[in-house]
């Protein structure tokens, strides 16, 4: 239920998340998925003052964390739709990227969602992988004061 609230009515995001959750029934995976969805929702609420229907609608690039526990982010910088043939060759899916099943390098296109009814539209994201920057924050040591 919480995931649905954070997705805020995005049909494609809902399909991506549902597909990933159907493929992995681990409680740990579902918690990581909720955490990532919540992080994206909060980040874009902070930037735009309200949650967009989809993070990539209000910005040139949307940064989506991978759900596999790594420190990598997938930036989505373009989305488009094409009419695809029913028996067309399979493309790497956005779900595979986010769940850690595939690790592409450089810029690449992924299948976000494919319609199962004619005219069989495929929704494609243009993406690039990034590592999250390392934290420069050092733990401060508490000093004992001598009185």
The pLDDT of residue 109: 92
What does the pLDDT read at residue 110? 92
Mean pLDDT of the chain: 75
pTM of the model: 0.64
Kindly provide the residue ranges of all beta strands, DSSP E only, lying in the chain, ordered along the sequence: 62-65, 72-83, 107-114, 121-131
Q: Rounded to an integer, what distance in angstroms lies between the CA atom of residue 102 and that of residue 113?
A: 17
- Is residue 98 within 8 Å of 74, Cβ to Cβ? yes
pLDDT tens readout for residues 76-92:
888 888 887 666 667 89
């Amino acid at each position: 239920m919480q995931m649905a609230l954070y997705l805020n009515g995005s049909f494609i995001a809902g399909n991506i998340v549902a597909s990933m959750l159907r493929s992995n029934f681990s409680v740990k995976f579902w918690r990581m998925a909720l955490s990532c969805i919540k992080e994206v929702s909060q980040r874009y609420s902070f930037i735009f003052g309200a949650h967009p229907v989809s993070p990539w609608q209000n910005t040139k690039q949307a940064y989506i964390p991978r759900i596999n526990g790594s420190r990598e982010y997938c930036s989505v910088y373009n989305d488009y739709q094409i009419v695809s043939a029913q028996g067309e060759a399979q493309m790497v899916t956005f779900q595979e990227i986010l769940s850690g099943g595939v690790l592409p390098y450089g810029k690449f296109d992924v299948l976000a969602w494919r319609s199962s009814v004619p005219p069989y539209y495929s929704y494609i994201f243009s993406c690039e992988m990034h590592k999250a920057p390392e934290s420069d924050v050092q733990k401060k040591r508490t000093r004992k004061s001598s009185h």
